Amino acid sequence: MKMCYLSTMNLFKKIIFLDHAAGRENPSAIYDEGVEAKHALEEARTRIARVLHVQARDIIFTSGGTESDNLALLGVFEAHREKILKPHIVISNVEHPAVRECAKEVVRRGGEVSVVDMREDGTLDPQKVLHAIKESTVLISLMYVNNETGAVHPISKISRLVEEYRKKRGSKLPYIHTDASQAATVLSVDVLKLGVDLMTLDASKVGGPKGAGLLVVRPGVKIKPILFGGGQERGLRPGTENVEAIKEFAQALEEAQGQREEQFERLSSIKKTFIEEVKRLLPQAIFNSPALSVPSIVSMSFPGLLHEFLAVKLNERGVCVSTGSSCKNINTEEREALRFSFGPETSKKDVLEAARLLREVVI
Amino acid sequence: MKMCYLSTMNLFKKIIFLDHAAGRENPSAIYDEGVEAKHALEEARTRIARVLHVQARDIIFTSGGTESDNLALLGVFEAHREKILKPHIVISNVEHPAVRECAKEVVRRGGEVSVVDMREDGTLDPQKVLHAIKESTVLISLMYVNNETGAVHPISKISRLVEEYRKKRGSKLPYIHTDASQAATVLSVDVLKLGVDLMTLDASKVGGPKGAGLLVVRPGVKIKPILFGGGQERGLRPGTENVEAIKEFAQALEEAQGQREEQFERLSSIKKTFIEEVKRLLPQAIFNSPALSVPSIVSMSFPGLLHEFLAVKLNERGVCVSTGSSCKNINTEEREALRFSFGPETSKKDVLEAARLLREVVI
């Protein structure tokens, strides 16, 4: 039995919990334990809002990055269907499967989608994005950091260009959405600086728990829910909030953003060491990450070799890498690649050893 | 650094984890840690399937009961939109907000919904459900146990009647979906015995963690995803699975179903004691639960009193109850009520004390 301080009676008293049908830690309940959960939820929301430079009410908690992307794309699409015959969405050709599959769903629902191709070097041309905008465009959705190559896309520059376009046109449309899940450990995810209207984050990608994510929805953005039920999260996301995971998410995001400059510097040095060592040991390696990429991701290819086999062989030697993300490959025609991605615990010794073992499996 | 036994090399070896962009415990990864997560996920799925008497592949993991209900209603509706002009869905007038709000969304998307009213005593008439079926009916969605009153609805009887109807008609439609979230601690949730095609469960309602739920989708059921992204969960639910929560879910469900008969008996005796004591102390109390209701829920009303105030006053005395569920009330015209719901830790002493304190706040 939980003992709990009851301010109204000024003594410690036994709690008789008779709300098992709702469950513990329910922020919608009216008794002390529920009110505490509500406070914890709103405190986490406020802490996250402070880090992102938005208002607490701009934060919608979800089950993760994939759901947040779905809410951004389908929610904005649905909110504009009545007034615009064929709402149009712009994405790039290297988006996460969540964004690409939502874009396909938009087409199935009668909308339109334009896909902006990367430049040869894997970077995104802001002018190309601007040229893709049409009268009917409601949303531009672009990842901040490419999860395969680590390429950093010029989101704030695109936001500025789009803002100029909107001002000229006297319209609030199109909105800009970015999935910044891969960015938050090494780059600022300040929403004001990025200038976006919607932003996805996933707790597990910033060192937090599985099962929590968020979508920033700035004031004035017209969006509809994609899941239906209770009125939680401003009516945009039903279901009792996972307060414990959200508290850990807030903690992890604060830490990640607090340490991002230090991590950026530390991982930049590690990335440099790793690339130099691989070049020395395996001159045939082709590096896929463009110059402007995060220090936490190195993508490389070995033409003629089966990269999944390389990853399996590396695993046998104790090195865990991916041949893409956990999601499916962007494009099956694309060059096969090995992705090495670093975190707070990765050391120079680790990557030198990984380079040595990579040589063993390649030659 | 995690040390891990590598079977291929027959020694303990340091692991160099270089897949931070995907994260730990990713069941889609090809290295040992990912394969272990995949095994843990599939073992949990198999354990749950065994308890529910279905095949492992019939289990789709979601973020919780609300999402499972959304997938059932909107997923079945969307899957039949092309062939049926106005797919029709039958629900009852006491469903959970997730089901009611999805039903409204079905109407907004051009479908039709019929709402079957309860009998005066809060029970459901199977014949009334059968009469609501039309040529265009694709789904009947009825909760197994009412979360407000604890009423047990005759799902297996309705399933049999619907199965007869389907056979006569030579059709697989309509499907039957039940949200059994409130049932699993005291009743069998054997899918075969219930005879349903789809079934929702929420981990937190069976003593498991927040952030996990499932939808049983029996073979042959036509359903489309409502969230889009990676191909996880048979393409019906994208996003990396929350393996840790799912493992705990399997454990909790096994325990809940293993102890349900014992709990049913124990809580029946507690419920009887509680009701008798309340009747003795407060003869004016009106009990809302019908004869056939779970022993874990007691709903009562005190005409003329503000029930939210009663709940607040009970909280001051250390008793946590709800004036409904965590979700919104079924019907604002409905009688106000206090809901007392019991769990494994609830004792006779607790409910006698709760009755005494209830008297303090009512008189």
What mean pLDDT comes out for the span A188-208? Answer: 97
φ, ψ dihedrals at A145, nearest 5°: -125, 130
Give the nearest partner residue to B22 out of A1, A105, A326, using CB atoms.
A326
Contact A286, A122 (CB under 8 A): no
Whole-number pLDDT of residue B273: 98
Q: Judge: A230–B28 Cβ closer than 8 Å, yes or no.
A: no
Give the nearest partner residue to B210 out of A244, A327, A339, using CB atoms.
A244
Task: Single out the residue of A171, A206, A165, A162 nearest to residue A48, CA to CA.
Answer: A206
Whether B67 contacts chain A with CB within 8 A: yes
What mean pLDDT comes out for the span A29-43? Answer: 94
Whole-number pLDDT of residue A230: 87
Share of chain B above pLDDT 90, in %: 88
Q: How confident is the model at residue B230 (pLDDT cuts 50, 70, 90)?
A: confident
Whole-number pLDDT of residue B5: 44
| Rounded Cα distance, B256 and B266, in Å | 14
What mean pLDDT comes out for the span B212-226? Answer: 98
Q: What is the pLDDT of residues B91-134, one digit of tens each?
A: 999 999 999 999 999 999 999 999 999 998 888 999 999 999 99
A229-to-A123, B92, B239 alpha-carbon distances in Å: 41, 15, 21
- Res. A4: pLDDT tops 60: no
B113 - beta bridge partners? B89
Q: What's the N-to-C CA distance of chain A in angstroms?
A: 63
Tokens standing for residue B29:
């990864």
Whole-number pLDDT of residue B120: 85
* ipTM value for the complex: 0.92
Q: Three-state DSSP class for A6?
A: strand
The CATH architecture of the domain made up of A260-362 is Alpha-Beta Complex (3.90)
Give the nearest partner residue to A354 out of B16, B211, B325, using CB atoms.
B16
Task: Single out the residue of A251, A237, A250, A228 nearest to residue A63, CA to CA.
Answer: A237
The alpha carbon of residue B55 is apart from the nearest alpha carbon of chain A, in Å, by 25
| Rounded Cα distance, A290 and A118, in Å | 11
Give the nearest partner residue to B227 out of A1, A66, A317, using CB atoms.
A66
* Chain A interface mutation, best of B6, B13, B16, B332, highest count of A Cβ atoms under 10 Å: B16
Q: Is the sign of the CA dihedral A237, A241, A243, A245 positive or negative?
A: negative
Answer whether CATH 3.40.640.10 is correct for domain A20-258.
yes
Q: How confident is the model at residue A335 (pLDDT cuts 50, 70, 90)?
A: confident
Please state the domain extents for chain A. Answer: 20-258, 260-362
A71-to-A202, A223, A271, B199 alpha-carbon distances in Å: 13, 8, 35, 25
Q: Where does chain B have alpha helices with state H? A: 32-52, 65-80, 97-108, 126-132, 155-169, 191-194, 243-258, 260-281, 307-316, 348-362
- Res. A325: pLDDT tops 90: no
Q: Judge: A242–B211 Cβ closer than 8 Å, yes or no.
A: yes
Reported residue count of chain B is 363
Residues of A in contact with B353 (CB under 8 A): 16
Reported residue count of chain A is 363
B3 - beta bridge partners? B14
Whether B29 contacts chain A with CB within 8 A: yes
Q: Judge: B22–A70 Cβ closer than 8 Å, yes or no.
A: no
Torsion of Cα atoms, A183 then A189 then A192 then A198, to 10°: 60
Whether A242 contacts chain B with CB within 8 A: yes
Give the nearest partner residue to A16 out of B8, B245, B353, using CB atoms.
B353
Using the structure block, give the residue that is written with the tokens 């009852």. Answer: B92
| Rounded Cα distance, B291 and B272, in Å | 12
Whether B329 contacts chain A with CB within 8 A: no
The alpha carbon of residue A212 is apart from the nearest alpha carbon of chain B, in Å, by 8
At the topology level, CATH places domain B55-258 in Aspartate Aminotransferase; domain 2 (3.40.640)
CA nearest A212 in B: which residue? B211
Whether A362 contacts chain B with CB within 8 A: no
| Rounded Cα distance, B26 and B22, in Å | 7
Q: What is the pLDDT of residues B176-207, one digit of tens each?
A: 999 999 999 999 999 999 999 999 999 999 99
Residues of A in contact with B4 (CB under 8 A): 318
Contacts with B, A 264-303, CB within 8 Å: 296-297
Torsion of Cα atoms, B232 then B236 then A27 then B353, to 10°: -100
Contacts with A, B 103-122, CB within 8 Å: 104-105
A4, A102, A320, A327: the catalytic one is: A327
Whether B336 contacts chain A with CB within 8 A: no
Q: What is the pLDDT of residues A118-161, one digit of tens each?
A: 998 888 999 999 999 999 999 999 999 999 999 999 999 999 99
Q: What is the pLDDT of residues B8-57, one digit of tens each?
A: 444 566 899 999 999 888 998 989 999 999 999 999 999 999 999 999 99
The alpha carbon of residue B39 is apart from the nearest alpha carbon of chain A, in Å, by 16
Q: Judge: B230–A327 Cβ closer than 8 Å, yes or no.
A: yes
Give the nearest partner residue to A242 out of B32, B210, B327, using CB atoms.
B210
**Which residues of B are part of the catalytic machinery?**
327
Whether B23 contacts chain A with CB within 8 A: yes
CA nearest B71 in A: which residue? A227
Tokens standing for residue A156:
């704030």
Whole-number pLDDT of residue B25: 85
- Element of type H or E holding A200: strand A198-202
pTM score of the predicted model:
0.93
Whole-number pLDDT of residue A326: 32
Q: Three-state DSSP class for B119?
A: coil
Q: Is B110 left (phi over 0), alpha (psi -120 to 50) or beta?
A: left
Q: Three-state DSSP class for B197?
A: coil
Angle between helices B243-258 and B260-281 (to 10 degrees): 70
